[in-house]
Amino acid sequence: MRTKCLIKPALVLIAGMVSQTAFAHDPIFGQGPHVLFKDGFEVATEVHSSKKGNELENELGLEVKYGITGDWAMGVDLPYEIKADDGNSSSGFGDAAIFTKYRFWRKDTRALQESAAVSLKIISDTGDETQAPALGSGTTDSVVGLSYGYEGRSWYRWASVRYRQNGTNNAGLQRGDKTLLDFVVGWRPNLTGYTEPDMVYLLELNGELGDIATLNGSSVANTGGDEWFISPGFMWTVKNFAVRGGIQLPVVSDLNGSQEKSDYRAKLSFEWHL
């Protein structure tokens, strides 16, 4: 009788262990509610590339994240940028950022975890905006977000909304704020164990709704507008190592006035959990 009484708690414990390993995923371009385990470290190197008209930007980033508790994590982003535009080029460190995420709700059932989190990111004015093209924005910006995740063994679903508030630079220019919307589905075709290589395919719908910029309180022409992207991607993991990548392809470009539309954005990252 005592053995039967111990079976259910043991199954719950095993399910919790599975959720900590197999469910440690977030979207590529959107945001999910995933956080680290207590006192855990995540180190990631990321490569970003984007093209808009004659503007080409490549970025190599280092991200370090620390798990304060099992539901609260914080970290730093350190980008190195290489930009080219109309024959001019520049390179150097961009705007560093600090961020934090708190998972305020979590529900675990058999082979399924649902959760939700809030986040905050502060992007500092550390890049060299005197170069051409500029490596920094010249302002301190902030991003607040809310994300939801449905993470099963075969299927994933995420949704998030973020609001980016841009500061005002020394010339009185305030780049328009942006609302970021993300809807993501993921599929694992083969159910594998923790020690086996694991592949998840993703398809994201990412929206960016931009406000018009202002200069000393007056609207700036040819700024603001909306863009939507379809973004296929993948996550390949084995034990505590992951490779994640994807490409954003514009499907709607409703920009105000005369502005260059995005051609593509791509991202590839290598992550370690320590």
For residue range 19-39, list pLDDT tens digits in order. 334 445 899 999 999 999 999
Q: In sequence order, what are the residues at sequence separation of 6 or more whose Cβ sits closer than 8 angstroms to the Cβ of residue 157?
A: 149, 150, 184, 185, 186
The CATH code that applies to domain 2-273 is 2.40.160.40
pLDDT in tens, 123-172: 999 998 888 899 989 999 999 999 999 999 999 999 999 999 999 999 99
Side by side, the strands of the sheet bearing 214-215 are: 173-174, 214-215, 218-219
Query: For residue 75, what are the contacts with CB-CB under 8 A and spacing of at least 6?
Result: 42, 63, 64, 65, 66, 98, 99, 100
Angle at 97 between CA 82 and CA 212, to 5 degrees: 80
pLDDT band at 7 (very low <50, low <70, confident <90, very high): very low
CA 60 → CA 127, 233, 267, 271, distances in Å?
14, 19, 10, 14
Q: Is residue 203 pLDDT above 90, yes or no?
A: yes
Domain range annotation of the chain: 2-273
